[in-house]
């Protein structure tokens, strides 16, 4: 009956919790109770009286639809856990690795049906199908996460302990119905994810940052560091990264800004995309890279490889954390130093967050112009301070003026990305670094997003506008053949 996927060992004994009568809600057709059986020792003897007080008439004791649903879910969960351990007992896991999906589904369905019959649990067709799908996901994939991972409209999955799973769709973060049975279940799934990419996470090594096989970025922090249970965040990999046209269409910036950015990237200005977490920095950087000429040699350096460049001549590097003995780390800085010996035309660092800042600025200053990176900051000015701090933290003792002059000659443009309160991601400012005035780095904002109001549904009303300042680099643009019309620098009228 169980063919080659079934182990020879006998099925596990029935879980005591499941020996009880199945809940009414789970029965396709509740057993009709013969009148005679309903009588108990202290039940009224008269037939008429008994009819007057049927079970359903006791309004106070009648569970609400919501109670029933909760009970039904709990019961389904209980059955699922039991079925899962039975499946693991019954399935030949090594044969399972090579099984075809249809075959495996059929096998799981058949085992489920037999075991349900064995347990005396009666499920309606819908519950049975749900159970079978969930079990299939549990055995072969990542359990409750599976439907979220398959759903292309979900881009972020954030888990705070087993019962709180949040998802982001179209910029909106909402709590999802998905939940894990308990912390152990969540830990088992985390373990499955990280062990598949050769990593480990446990009490002595309680956090991990990894790239999954499908390219998604995965971070987990387990107890005791995660106080109320494991904390997980998954940034799903998008096969089709948002392109410049998509970003214009989604209102991330307007066409004039796109034309300006094209000129800036093509004429090899050094660009920093600044923004908060999840504000769209990597997406913007990736889209901007499309303006790089196909003939150029580009090297990318990232902690978790996310960028997908379209050019032909691209070398991708990914830093590596130390192994369990604390050895073998390859930092972004190591990659960057090495990259400088690899004759790149441009260097793209996914995110500058530490000591690699020094090599990044040096690269930008020494012939690798047109390089790009992102930093975590809330405004262009703040971005510059972040760079200064990173230099100080890297242990470089330089007078502040020298640091600033290094920054001002390395960085040409700061593009500020932001995730606004209505969930939309926009490029809220494009600022040029124009030099130094005394000890201060001088900058000028060329484009900005202006907030005008709020719709009743919470959507922000706003528009992009030029500030009226002509680009400091207009002459360069012109010389390189990107003669932008002066009208793009005109502010939007009232
Ligand atoms: N303009 C946009 N419109 C809609 N979705 C966007 C936009 N920009 C980015 N996204 C989506 O938002 C999510 C976060 O984007 P991204 O990875 O670029 O952010 P980030 O700032 O690099 O985040 P982190 O700080 O975590 O590295 C992605 O799923 C991306 O597809
Ligand atoms: Mg990023």
Question: For the residues of 375-425, what is the DSSP string, one character each?
Answer: EE-SSHHHHHHHHHHHHHHTT----HHHHHHHHHHH--EEEEEEE-TTS-E
Which of 235, 257, 273 is where one domain is finished?
235
Q: Ligand 1 pocket, 252 CB below 6 A?
A: yes
Q: Which ligand is closest to the CA of 417, given by its number? A: 1
Is the predicted pLDDT of residue 1 greater than 60, yes or no? Answer: no
How many angstroms does the Cα of residue 429 sit away from the middle of ligand 2?
18
3-state SS string for 417-475 = EEECCCCCEEEEEEEEEEEEECCEEEEEEEEEEEEEEECCCCCEEEEEEECCCCCCCHH
* Cα three-residue angle 208-213-215, rounded to 5 degrees: 85
Question: What proportion of the chain, given as a percentage, has pLDDT over 70?
Answer: 85
Of the candidates 203, 246, 21, the one whose C-alpha atom is nearest the C-alpha of residue 119 is 21
How many angstroms does the Cα of residue 156 sit away from the middle of ligand 1?
9
- Reported as a single tens digit per residue, the pLDDT across 195-241 is 888 888 988 889 998 888 888 999 999 999 999 999 999 999 888 88
As for how many domains the chain has, the answer is 3
Is the predicted pLDDT of residue 157 greater than 50, yes or no? Answer: yes
pTM of the model: 0.76
Ligand 1 atom closest to 242 (CA): 31
Residue predicted with more confidence, 100 or 189 = 189
Q: Ligand 1 pocket, 350 CB below 6 A?
A: no
Q: Which of 59-63, 400-404, 490-494 has the highest mean pLDDT?
A: 400-404
Give CA–CA dist 248/29, Å, rounded.
55
pLDDT at 97: 62
Q: Ligand 1 pocket, 169 CB below 6 A?
A: no
**Domain region containing 197:** 145-235
Same domain, 75 and 211: no
pLDDT at 291: 96
Same domain, 262 and 386: yes
How many angstroms does the Cα of residue 351 sit away from the middle of ligand 1?
13
Give CA–CA dist 154/141, Å, rounded.
18
Is the predicted pLDDT of residue 457 greater than 60, yes or no? Answer: yes
pLDDT at 94: 61
Same domain, 220 and 123: no
How many angstroms does the Cα of residue 354 sit away from the middle of ligand 1?
21
Q: Ligand 1 pocket, 199 CB below 6 A?
A: no
Ligand 1 atom closest to 252 (CA): 1
Q: Which ligand is closest to the CA of 416, given by its number? A: 1
pLDDT at 353: 93
pLDDT, mean of residues 370-383: 96
Taking a C-beta distance cutoff of 8 angstroms, is the pair 252, 426 a contact?
Answer: yes
Same domain, 407 and 433: yes
How many angstroms does the Cα of residue 281 sit away from the middle of ligand 1?
6
How many angstroms does the Cα of residue 241 sit away from the middle of ligand 1?
10
The enclosing domain of 418 has a CATH number of 3.40.50.300
Q: Ligand 1 pocket, 278 CB below 6 A?
A: yes
> Is residue 48 in a domain?
no
pLDDT, mean of residues 314-339: 91
Which of 235, 254, 274 is where one domain is finished?
235
Ligand 1 atom closest to 278 (CA): 23
What stretch of H or E contains 334? helix 332-339
pLDDT at 7: 52
Which of 140, 155, 177 is where one domain is finished?
140
Is the predicted pLDDT of residue 54 greater than 50, yes or no? Answer: no
Q: Which ligand is closest to the CA of 233, given by its number? A: 1
Q: Ligand 1 pocket, 158 CB below 6 A?
A: no
Same domain, 122 and 168: no
> Is residue 222 in a domain?
yes
Question: Which 8-state DSSP code applies to residue 296?
Answer: S
Residue 219's DSSP bridge partners are 209, 233
Same domain, 360 and 453: yes
Q: Ligand 1 pocket, 429 CB below 6 A?
A: no
Q: Ligand 1 pocket, 235 CB below 6 A?
A: yes
**pLDDT category, 63, cuts 50, 70, 90?**
low
248 Cβ neighbours under 8 A, 6+ residues apart:
254, 255, 258
> Is residue 49 in a domain?
no
- Reported as a single tens digit per residue, the pLDDT across 101-110 is 888 888 888 8
The enclosing domain of 161 has a CATH number of 3.30.450.370
> Is residue 299 in a domain?
yes
Same domain, 197 and 226: yes
> Is residue 55 in a domain?
no
Q: Ligand 1 pocket, 153 CB below 6 A?
A: no
Compute the mean pLDDT over every residue in the chain, rounded to the nearest whole number: 84
> Is residue 224 in a domain?
yes
> Is residue 94 in a domain?
yes
How many angstroms does the Cα of residue 416 sit away from the middle of ligand 2?
13
pLDDT at 95: 67
Same domain, 260 and 408: yes
pLDDT at 43: 40
Question: What proportion of the chain, given as a percentage, has pLDDT over 90?
Answer: 56
Q: Ligand 1 pocket, 275 CB below 6 A?
A: yes
Same domain, 131 and 197: no
Same domain, 205 and 309: no
Pocket test for ligand 1, best of 168, 211, 282 (most atoms within 8 A of CB): 282
Same domain, 340 and 416: yes
Same domain, 77 and 91: yes
Q: Ligand 1 pocket, 279 CB below 6 A?
A: yes
**Which of 11-15, 58-62, 341-345, 380-384 is the least confident region?**
11-15
pLDDT at 16: 41
**pLDDT category, 368, cuts 50, 70, 90?**
confident
Ligand 1 atom closest to 285 (CA): 18
């Amino acid at each position: 009956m169980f063919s080659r996927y079934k182990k020879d060992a006998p099925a596990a004994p029935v879980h005591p919790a499941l020996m009880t009568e199945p809940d009414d809600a789970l029965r396709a057709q509740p057993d009709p109770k013969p009148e005679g059986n309903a009588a108990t020792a202290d039940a009224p003897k008269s037939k008429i009286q008994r009819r007057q007080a049927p079970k359903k008439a006791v309004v106070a004791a009648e569970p609400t639809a919501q109670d029933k649903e909760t009970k039904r879910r709990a019961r389904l969960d209980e059955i699922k856990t039991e079925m899962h351990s039975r499946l693991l007992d019954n399935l030949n896991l090594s044969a399972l690795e090579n099984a075809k999906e249809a075959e495996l589904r059929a096998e799981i369905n058949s085992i489920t049906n037999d075991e349900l019959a064995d347990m005396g649990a009666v499920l309606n067709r819908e519950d049975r199908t749900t159970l079978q799908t969930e079990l299939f996901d549990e055995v072969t994939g990542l359990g409750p996460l599976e439907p979220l991972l398959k759903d292309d409209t979900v881009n972020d999955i954030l888990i705070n302990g087993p019962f709180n799973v949040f998802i982001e769709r179209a910029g909106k973060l909402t709590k999802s119905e998905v939940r894990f049975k308990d912390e152990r279940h969540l830990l088992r799934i985390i373990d499955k994810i990280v062990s598949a990419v050769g990593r480990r996470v446990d009490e002595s090594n309680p956090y991990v940052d990894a790239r999954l096989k499908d390219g998604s970025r995965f971070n987990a922090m387990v107890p005791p560091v995660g106080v109320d249970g494991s904390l997980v965040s998954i940034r799903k990999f998008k096969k089709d990264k948002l392109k410049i046209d998509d970003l214009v269409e989604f209102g991330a910036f307007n066409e004039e800004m796109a034309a300006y950015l094209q000129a800036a990237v093509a004429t090899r200005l050094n660009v920093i995309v600044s923004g908060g977490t999840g504000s769209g920095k990597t997406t913007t950087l990736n889209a901007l890279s499309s303006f790089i000429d196909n003939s150029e040699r580009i090297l990318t350096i990232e902690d978790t490889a996310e960028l997908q460049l379209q050019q032909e001549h691209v070398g991708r590097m990914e830093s590596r954390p130390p192994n369990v003995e604390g050895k073998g780390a390859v930092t972004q800085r190591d990659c960057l130093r090495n990259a400088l010996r690899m004759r790149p035309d441009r260097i793209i660092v996914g995110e500058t967050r530490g000591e690699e800042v020094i090599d990044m600025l040096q690269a930008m200053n020494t012939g690798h112009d047109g390089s790009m990176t992102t930093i975590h900051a809330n405004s262009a000015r703040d971005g510059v301070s972040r760079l200064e701090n990173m230099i100080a933290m890297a242990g470089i003792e330089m007078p502040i003026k020298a640091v600033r002059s290094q920054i001002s000659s390395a960085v040409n443009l700061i593009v500020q990305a932001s995730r606004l309160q209505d969930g939309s991601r926009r490029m809220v400012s494009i600022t040029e670094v124009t030099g130094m005035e005394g000890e201060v780095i001088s900058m000028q904002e060329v484009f900005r997003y202006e907030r005008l109001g709020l719709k009743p549904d919470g959507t922000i009303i706003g528009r992009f506008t030029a500030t009226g300042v002509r680009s400091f680099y207009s002459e360069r643009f012109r010389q390189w053949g990107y003669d932008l019309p002066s009208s793009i620098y005109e502010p939007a009228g009232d």
